[in-house]
Amino acid sequence: MSVATEHRSPAKPSSEARALLGAAGNRVRVSEEAKRKKESLKKNQKPSRLVSETPCLAAGNNLSVDSTCSSDSSLGGSSVKMVSSKRRMKPNGLRSVKVVPDGVESAVPIPVKRCDWITANSDPLYTAFHDEEWGVPVHDDRKLFELLVLSQALAEFTWPAILSKRDMFRKFFDDFDPSLVAKFTEKKVLSLRSNGSTSLSEPKLRAVVENANQTLKIQQEFGSFSNYCWSFINHKPIRNGFRYARQVPVKIPKAEIISKDLMHRGFRCVGPSVVYSFMQVAGLANDHLVTCFRYHECNNNAGKDQKPKNEDIEVRTNANSTRSSHD
């Protein structure tokens, strides 16, 4: 009996992983699919980066951004390297960054405290006059003569109005040089009055010319008009130390003494109120309120700007007389 021979086809190679013999025993190689998953996992992971973050620079405003500047950022037009940030954002998707130049936060300027009669609505000229001139000790004769004339004008104008005409006053009064104003003729006075150049009344114009003549006489007697004025207060400014504007008077006893002496010498339109205004503006009296930032500054200026007293001038005068006698 014949037996049919059974033929078997060769086994197809299996696509699955086969067991391999290793030194530590049998191990199963990771499948290609597992490899792909592992590589995909590695790609999705972001590399950690260490970045020294600094605030973004801008012109003093807050900037809302979703990135921060690296330590390479700087001023002067250089580029700023931006690095994305994963910090928590605001609901609108932006993050506020406080911008500070050079890494130093600038202080917010605090409004200075001035005398109560200077307000936010005051004329800029008047404010500058308060901040730079009013109450500063003056020792220049020409400047003192100018301030005396302007104080006389207060009878007809306010300080803001006078300051607006100041350049015009200087032009028509020859920069307040007493030696030149004293030479004004009657025709000159009438011309100034007729064309309204100075806006001063005729009595005031005549008083300016007469006071210029008397100023020259004082210069000859006391050496300077400054020395004459400051001698009444022992060459030291009066510091009243008022706290409120209502405390500032329109005149003081010392102003009455000076006024009386001026009128005795032939000065005109120099009543106690005019003289006291002159003392305030020329720094003979520091009437800035104690709460005003200028009060202490004017006191400091007074200490730095002391001029020779009467005794020194008398010594020099005697020395000159002695030399003249020997000559």
Among residues 60, 85, 58, the alpha carbon closest in space to that of 70 is found at 85
- Backbone φ, ψ for residue 20 (5° rounding): -110, 155
298 is in an annotated binding site: no
Sequence-distant (≥ 6) Cβ neighbours of residue 280 within 8 angstroms = 134, 135, 287
Angle at 33 (CA atoms; ends 28, 34), nearest 5 degrees: 60
56 is in an annotated binding site: no
318 to 138, 221, 313: CA distances (angstroms):
26, 13, 9
> What angle separates helix 253-264 from helix 272-281, to the nearest 10 degrees?
110
CB count within 10 Å of CB 175 equals: 12
69 is in an annotated binding site: no
Residue 96 three-state SS:
strand
Angle at 143 (CA atoms; ends 140, 147), nearest 5 degrees: 135
Sequence-distant (≥ 6) Cβ neighbours of residue 270 within 8 angstroms = 148, 152, 211, 259, 262, 263
Whether residue 180 contacts residue 171, with contact meaning beta carbons closer than 8 Å, is answered with no
Mark the binding-site residues for Zn(2+), compressed into ranges.
115, 130, 288, 292
Mark the binding-site residues, compressed into ranges.
115, 130, 288, 292
